Structure 1
Amino acid sequence: MTEYTEHPEYTEHPEPAESGDRREPAVLLVHSALLDQRMWSATAAGLSGYRVITYDLRGHGSARQAAPTTGIAQLARDLDELTSILELDTADVVGVSLGGAVAQRFAADRPARVSSLALVATAVRFPAGTMTKRAQTLELQGRAAVRDTTLRRWFSADLLDDAGAEPVRYAREQLDRTTVEQWKAAWLALAAFDNTGAAAVADIPVLGIAGERDPSTPAEVVRELVAAYRQGTFTQLRDASHLIPLERPGPLAETLRSFLAAVHSPSPRLR
């Protein structure tokens, strides 16, 4: 495999994590804003039969040393560079929230490299005004207020009420490490994202997955996303809020396995 040292433009990024057989179809999992690739751990464990790859977006996780992102286009270029380093001809790309925006832009920029898209709790476009205002909240309201509001958007109330819930502890820890600059960059990137035009001409299978209890990206937003694509399919997971890979990793993995099996069937039902 090509070494990272041969790609100096990518030196700010850590090596990805991989599991599964490299001879199997590659599945790239792209995490959400302000978290890191660890949010996919339980879901990835349920995707046997595939080469599963996770990585940290610039400005996140072990790539926090990189400058905050300038936008979704930059994050998609990073993903393109990663696929080159890993010598991937094609991959199925799964993205949640911000990661779903990155996945869509990557598919628009490099359609030959994407076999399918699975888009979890995300949108084809985000409300620019809401995202722009949110970008200022950490600086204006303080960390405690912003952390509590964000966790309520991300998790179901019953999970938040469980003092020992590992997904909530992990997310809270990541929010506490987020700088003002990283916070602003994530929401401003979403404010500027609109993939409506590219979605209309995309010709790949697309699965939109909504959480039944998601107040951040409700089902109607994911339905709008699916309708924007020629081969879009919608599904909803019960008892799930926004961060489905953390809250309902088992059902999510099962849903992804079913979708990927159809994509890679000798007679694909989704083409």
Structure 2
Amino acid sequence: MSERTIRTPEGVDLHTRVDGPPEAPPLLAINSLGTDLTSWDAQVADWSERWRVVRYDQRGHGRSGVPDGPYTIDQLGQDALAVLDANNVQRADVCGLSLGGVVALWLAVHAPDRVDRVVLADTAARVGTEEGWRRRAAVVRAQGMDAVVDLVLGRFFSPDFRASGAPALAAVEAGLRRADPEGYAASCDALAAADLRSVVGEVTAPCLVVVGTADEATPPDDARELRAHLRDGDYVELPGAGHLANLEQPVTFTRLVTDFLSRTHAPGDLHA
């Protein structure tokens, strides 16, 4: 394992971590809005046996820099490319969740020579509405993160998981409360403007679209629409899982991604 801070060509400092053998094929994992690279901890223990797992805190998140907003999906995509460049990665498999999934989709559209296979988890080509994201950004800038934590947790996790008191709940809540308000709000601005629906059909990389059936933020209807416009895509629903499916059902999620990236399945033969 190695951790370091890299600086993008735009001058943004990004906290990165790499796990796994240096000679292994690379896998880039991109975090969701309001979380950081530790949100992949449950997966990395397994993935790092097969891949060199490259993670980073997206700008405005975790230990990365917080430039003034608004941010754009183009900037977030360029940040991902800067992380690959800093780690001497020409091509990688990519796994992104929620906002990270939008970034992964951006990479598949705008930098197809840099990606092999792509996992699009609990995400969509258009997430939410511009009005909703602008409203949330305004609330956070005016009142701070505490004003939206309960709302976000309710959209992140299924009711059953919230009632379980699982450690992941407390960890995500603590991360949200310590998040930088401007970094969070500026990322909401990126989601407000991001709309990749018109270019999804350009993606040539094999994709896995995975979604929890209890995902309120990017529900299965959004995921099915995304899959329908991809040229080459598997689609799997995780029964009962909420928006952060990798935290609610870590074993199943890890297996699905491992099987997809390892091509140990026939097309359309993945199941939760």
Q: Same fold (TM over 0.5)?
A: yes
Look up the equivalent residue of 2:229 and give its one-letter code. A
- Asked if the contact 2:28–2:54 (Cα under 8 Å) also holds between the matched residues in 1, the reply is yes
Look up the equivalent residue of 1:137 and give its one-letter code. V
Match of 1:150 in 2: 152
Distance 1:201 1:11, change over 3 A: closer
Look up the equivalent residue of 2:103 and give its one-letter code. V
Shift of 1:207: 0.8
Q: Deviations over 1:143-190 (max 9, x none)?
A: 444211110110122332244x22111111121123332232121111
CA distance in 2, matches of 1:41, 1:69: 29
CA distance in 2, matches of 1:134, 1:4: 29
Q: Are 1:43 and 2:43 an aligned pair?
A: yes
CA distance in 1, matches of 2:71, 2:144: 23
Shift of 1:254: 0.2
CA distance in 2, matches of 1:4, 1:158: 38
Match of 2:115 in 1: 114
Match of 1:217 in 2: 218
CA distance in 2, matches of 1:141, 1:11: 26
- Asked if the contact 2:66–2:182 (Cα under 8 Å) also holds between the matched residues in 1, the reply is no
- Partner of 2:60, secondary structure, is coil
Shift of 1:136: 2.2
Identity %: 32
Match of 2:250 in 1: 249
Match of 2:21 in 1: 21
Match of 1:132 in 2: 134
- Asked if the contact 2:9–2:82 (Cα under 8 Å) also holds between the matched residues in 1, the reply is no
CA distance in 1, matches of 2:28, 2:83: 10
Q: Deviations over 1:120-140 (max 9, x none)?
A: 000011222222222223356
- Asked if the contact 1:30–1:37 (Cα under 8 Å) also holds between the matched residues in 2, the reply is yes
CA distance in 2, matches of 1:160, 1:5: 36
The two structures have a TM-score, normalised by structure 2, of 0.88
What 5-or-longer segments of structure 2 have no aligned partner?
Answer: none
Aligned length: 263
Q: Deviations over 1:28-73 (max 9, x none)?
A: 1000011100000001212231111111111110104444562111
CA distance in 2, matches of 1:10, 1:256: 33
Distance 1:49 1:140, change over 3 A: same
- Asked if the contact 1:33–1:98 (Cα under 8 Å) also holds between the matched residues in 2, the reply is yes
What 5-or-longer segments of structure 1 have no aligned partner?
Answer: none
Look up the equivalent residue of 1:21 and give its one-letter code. P
CA distance in 1, matches of 2:218, 2:6: 39
CA distance in 2, matches of 1:5, 1:133: 32
Look up the equivalent residue of 1:20 and give its one-letter code. G
Look up the equivalent residue of 1:194 and give its one-letter code. D
Shift of 1:242: 0.4
Shift of 1:27: 0.8
Shift of 1:212: 1.6
CA distance in 1, matches of 2:187, 2:243: 16
Residues 80-89 or 128-137, more deviating: 128-137
Residues 82-91 or 142-151, more deviating: 142-151
- Asked if the contact 1:91–1:114 (Cα under 8 Å) also holds between the matched residues in 2, the reply is yes
CA distance in 1, matches of 2:11, 2:145: 31
- Asked if the contact 1:10–1:81 (Cα under 8 Å) also holds between the matched residues in 2, the reply is no
Residues 183-192 or 26-35, more deviating: 183-192
CA RMSD of superposed structures (Å)? 2.4
- Partner of 1:158, secondary structure, is helix
- Partner of 2:28, secondary structure, is strand
